[in-house]
Amino acid sequence: MTEEDEKERSEAVRSLLISHYTGFEEREKGLDIRFAGTDESLQAVARFTANELQCCSFAEYDITVSPPYEETVLTVTGPDGTREMFREGLVERLETESG
């Protein structure tokens, strides 16, 4: 990924996800990243995931919306290093911007 691509990705993360972010939990091979249970957050998570497929196709992405629909959860799992990469590259940005 070029520096310009990384900058665009950072901007997309902030603009699409930050206002919906509520927290995260670590999993053995990845992360559960939690967002508000709104139509807007679901659309933002889906758009982010579609973009991530272009640069990080090694990871598996699951979007979960379950009753009572109070949150949208993006689960990212993959080979060794996936959890750390997404924690440093995504979650830390979300934590910084929402803090």
Tens digits of per-residue pLDDT, 10-59?
676 677 899 999 999 999 899 999 999 999 999 999 988 888 888 888 99
CATH topology of domain 3-95: Gyrase A; domain 2 (3.30.1360)
Q: How confident is the model at residue 99 (pLDDT cuts 50, 70, 90)?
A: low
The three-state secondary structure class of 14 is helix
Residue type (1 letter), 26: E
pLDDT per residue over 76-91, tens digit each?
999 999 999 999 988 9
* Angle formed at CA 46 by CA 13 and CA 92, multiple of 5 degrees: 30
Can you tell me the distance from the alpha carbon of 43 to that of 22, in angstroms, rounded to the nearest whole number?
16
Predicted model pTM: 0.86
Report domain extents, the chain.
3-95
What are the residues whose beta carbons fall under 8 Å from the beta carbon of 64, sequence distance 6 or more? 72, 73, 75
